[in-house]
Structure 1
Amino acid sequence: MSQAILEIKNVTAGYGDTEVLHDVSLTVYPAEVIGIVGQSGSGKTSLLNCVLQLEPNLEITSGEILYSNQNLLTLNKKEYRRLFQDEIATIFQNSNFTLVPTRKISSQFYETTKGRLTQEETRQKAYLLFEQFKLKNPERIFHSYPFELSIGMAQRVAVSLALMNNPSLLLCDEPTSALDVKSAYEMVLQLKKLKEEKGMTMVVITHNIALAAQLCDRIAVMHQGCIVEVQDTKTLIESPMHAYTKQLLAALPKTEGLWND
């Protein structure tokens, strides 16, 4: 197997005296989409926050997080910021974490691609992404403020922004939770297209195991701050090993589908 793009090695972390992650390890390979699933409070978002380092109260007490063999925990702020500008992008479940409400969307796209694309190239690429995500009238959207858009539209704009610099690794935190059924369907279709056509490497955090089954090559199941099972998707769905994974699958109604996020 090829060299890992992201390695989480024996990470233990917590908030103050409360430990929320216990010796967690996970490896992500290039062109792989791996899902991290579990109920609320299982630790999956805390694990993502360890990679992002955006939560000041979350302390990593042991372990390493390696991206292309460099330990993210040893980078200074400037190095870390450059890495997340150039190679790693994040889709948050709420567009407010990505889009600045008081700035026009156009200026946020121009800032993201500064030094890479001209403003005209940026505008054209943004329009193309908007159209791929079924956003009508891309010119109007591009020159709007985020608060002038619906929640679903703003989320799809935020995803487009994350993709502007062709990241090597895309981190997705509940990417469809703010969307209606139709928009969620279109979102996952586009993520699958990125996977199939561009070989995009993705880590997808979701409580929806049905969504993970549609999109991911492998699935890691988190429970009480631990990864209790990692399997390729087909094996995990058809022959789960851990009791908690079996409970998650058994809890899905017979009518459960991908779009219950």
Structure 2
Amino acid sequence: MRQLILEIKKVIARYGDTKVLHDVSLSIYPSEVIGIVGQSGSGKTSLLNCILQLEPNLKIDAGEILYSNQKLLDMNQKEYRQLLKDEIATIFQSSNFSLVPTRKISAQFYETTNGKLSREETRQKAYDLFRKFELKEPERIFNSYPFTLSIGMAQRVAVSLALMNDPKLLLCDEPTSALDVKSAYEMVQQLKRLKEEKGMTMVVITHNVALAAQLCNRIAVMYQGRIVEVQETNTLIKNPMHAYTKELLAALPKTEDLWDD
């Protein structure tokens, strides 16, 4: 039996008196890229917040979340922050969540790799990642402040920062939503390379079914706080089972082109 890297088991969660997740379960295997899709308010971001435990107003009433058989909900804050630093990285939909605008980019990279890489190794690895994301003048960017960069450039810098410690699990929250078409395309291509060259495990949370179809091995569909369907991507695109999945696909211009691209 294949070992799971992340397992979400019967999670029930709420904001105040409003229940946002209803008995949600999902299993993710090493080297798998799984998409979680659904419209705004479907619960996909709430599920991410349950994993990250960064939202104090979100209360988990029942269930378990396991990372490599470790019960995340039983960890103290110090243990969990260390795990997030060492093994689980997140790409947020806005670089504002990852980059402190008033601190130099270089300082934020040095802080991330503190104790793992020397300053020179950090700098060279950051430059290499910048180049992979089609960022020119890596030295200038490294010594800049985030607020001096365009939104697309800052987002790609934030992704580079997330990858600095070679995480085992990458959580992507609407990774292309803040980007223009060209930057979004470059982002998707780099995520594909991470999948193909490094075998990186990724959870991609998005409202964009076309993005999930291009990138993911499997897709989980969320609707009203529940996962209503989980299928291999090819199967889901060509033969959706749930009525809501069919509606999502019907809203796209050419469903049949999603998988054939």
* TM-score (structure 2 length as normaliser): 0.97
Contact 1:13 1:19 in 2 (8 A): yes
Shift in alpha-carbon separation, 1:227–1:255, aligned structure 2, 3 A = closer
Paired residue total: 258
Does residue 102 in structure 1 map to residue 102 in structure 2? yes
Conserved? CA contact 1:210–1:256, under 8 Å: no
Instruction: Give the aligned partner of residue 177 of structure 2.
Output: 177
In structure 2, do the counterparts of structure 1 residues 240 and 257 end up closer, same or farther at CA, with 3 Å as the change threshold? closer
5 Å-filtered alignment, 1:156-235, equals 156-235=156-235
CA-to-aligned-CA distance 1:165-217 (integer Å, 9 cap, x gap): 00000000000011111111111111010111111000000000000000000
Q: Residues 134-169 of structure 1: CA distance to partner in whole angstroms, max 9, x if unpaired?
A: 011111100000000000100000000000000000
- Whole-angstrom distance in 2 between the partners of 1:13 and 1:206: 20
Tell me, yes or no, if structure 1 residue 88 matches structure 2 residue 93.
no
Paired amino acid for 2:154: A
CA contact (8 A) 1:210 1:257 kept: no
Tell me how far apart the structure 2 counterparts of residues 120 and 2 of structure 1 sit (CA, whole Å).
39
Instruction: List gaps (5 residues or longer) in structure 1.
Output: none
Deviations 1:96-153, CA, capped at 9 Å, x for gaps:
1000111000000000001000000000000000000001111110000000000010
**Letter of the 2:179 counterpart:** L
Structure-2 residue corresponding to 1:64: 64
Distance in 1 between the 2:202 and 2:142 partners?
A: 26
Q: Which residue of 2 aligns with 1:148?
A: 148
- Unaligned runs of at least 5 residues, structure 2: none
Distance 1:185 1:94 in 2: 16
The match for 1:136 is 136
What amino acid sits opposite 1:163 in the alignment? L
**In the alignment, what sits opposite 1:250?**
250
Q: Which amino acid counterpart does residue 64 of structure 2 have in structure 1?
A: E
Q: Find the counterpart in structure 1 of residue 115 from structure 2.
A: 115
Deviation, structure 1 residue 2: 1.4
Instruction: Give, in angstroms, the shift of residue 254 of structure 1.
Output: 3.1
- How far apart in 1 are the matches of 2:55 and 2:189? 31
Identity %: 81
Aligned-residue offset at 1:255: 8.8
1-structure distance, mates of 2:47, 2:167? 20
The code of the aligned residue for 1:56 comes to P
Runs of 4+ in structure 1 over 2 Å off: 254-258
Whole-angstrom CA distance in 1 between matches of 2:253 and 2:85: 41
Question: Which residue in the other structure is 1:41 paired with?
Answer: 41
